[in-house]
Amino acid sequence: MRITAKLIDATTTALNLLLKFEHPADAVLSTFFRDNKLLGQSERGFIAETAYAVLRRRRLLEHLLGKEANSRRLVLAALTRLSGVSQRQLEGAVGEKELKWVAELKSRQTGDLSPAEQADMPDWLTERLLAQMTPPELLALAQGLNQAAPLDLRVNPLKAGREAVLARFSGEGIAAEAGRLSPLCIRLKAKPALQKHPLYVDGSIEVQDEGSQLLGYLLAPRRGEMAADFCAGAGGKTLLLGALMRSTGRLYAFDVSDRRLARLKARVARSGLSNVHPVTIANENDIRIKRLAGKLDRVLVDAPCSGLGTLRRNPDLKWRQTPEGVAELARKQHDILKGAARLVKPGGRLVYATCSILPEENEAIVAGFLAAHPDFKQVSAQEILAQQGIALACGEALRLAPHTHGTDGFFAAVLERAV
């Protein structure tokens, strides 16, 4: 695609909006594209990829630019230092003066980088991660988080088989392969628009990260049981749980957001599930929760968290999140887990999960819960996955990361209530 002055200007304007960090990056770009309807699909892709490159590698670029670091220079630096755009490709898009600056920037040395600059993370986050891992381990994690995420799909076993879907994609020229971990995962080599694909329209496939799919296998709900997705959101994991139950029993989808559950209802209809019951609650102490106390076989708590394990998709989160925000989330996570545990009957299973990489949102929450609830014990995530034919050496708790597993960063602990 030809790079024009108009395209550089539009990318700079979009980045200006993103760097305010007032709203999630995907929402900011959606609004920007809605306000700029004349931009074509390839232009939108260019703007999004360049802006996200800046968000991912902001510390490195700002180190390189120093006092020159404004939105336009960050765009040009991302194009030339990260995306491999040549001076020749920029001719006509920028003036002679800027072309000379680009030539100088291409040969500029990075010099000494701090650990945070090497990892492209804020100082506070770098310090917390270095408290639990070595500098080489941090850099490996950061490199994984600073890559764009692949597009993972989950096959709906009520409607299709993975091999059949792979064969169909192959016949249609869509490059795809079976996921390494989840029995239902398909990973696409590119990112085709699938919203109008017949398999998506009829509910045979859903978009879901492979790591997220494993949470369903940790809960492992059975036919005819009573289960709950306690923080259901838009319901990706709810749909998986319903399918694993073969649309039998009763599956509650609890959430505090009417709007999110409204989106779930449309997805449930497409999926063919008849056992899902969306319920809007005020909080974890809602009367509708208390009425079900001690009655459920399985409860999944995919708790609201910092989202720092999803930086491949949401690189703005590392700049928008704060230590104070994490502390507030940890208090919520403690309360939510405590509230959800009331639902679990003797002998039942509770899975606590986040897409965070911070111990204070993960291990610390589980340890605090177990200390206060002696009737619960933690069981091996590795053994539960192995029982379902998923070979993953994770030990007691599930910890996933992009550089080791090719997934988003996830944590999950399996807790079972004594009989």
Q: Are 394 and 411 in contact (CB under 8 A)?
A: no
Alpha carbon distance 72, 67 (integer Å): 13
The string of DSSP codes covering 363-390 is: HHHHHHHHHH-TTEEEE-HHHHHHHTT-
* Rg over CA atoms, the chain: 23
Alpha carbon distance 137, 133 (integer Å): 6
Q: Are 235 and 263 in contact (CB under 8 A)?
A: yes
Residues acting as catalytic residues: 355
* Residues comprising the chain, all counted: 419
Q: How big is the CA angle at 54 (ends 53 and 57), to the nearest 5 degrees? A: 85
Residue 196 dihedral angles phi and psi, to the nearest 5°: -105, 5
- The β-bridge relationship of strands 250-255 and 344-354 is unpaired
Which contacts (CB < 8 Å, 24+ apart) does range 320-323 have? Answer: 320/21, 320/24, 321/125, 322/124, 323/124
Helix (H) or strand (E) holding 188: strand 185-188
Using a 10 angstrom Cβ sphere, with 0-12 exposed, 13-18 middle and 19 or more buried, the burial of residue 2 is exposed
Alpha carbon distance 338, 284 (integer Å): 8
Q: Are 408 and 309 in contact (CB under 8 A)?
A: yes
Beta bridge partners of 227: 251, 298
**Alpha helices (runs of H) in 172-321, residue ranges in sequence order:** 198-201, 210-219, 236-244, 258-271, 287-290, 317-320
At 338 the three-state DSSP class reads: helix
Token digits for 370? 């177990």
Alpha carbon distance 26, 32 (integer Å): 10
Token digits for 271? 């999926």
Q: Are 93 and 5 in contact (CB under 8 A)?
A: yes
Q: Are 351 and 303 in contact (CB under 8 A)?
A: no
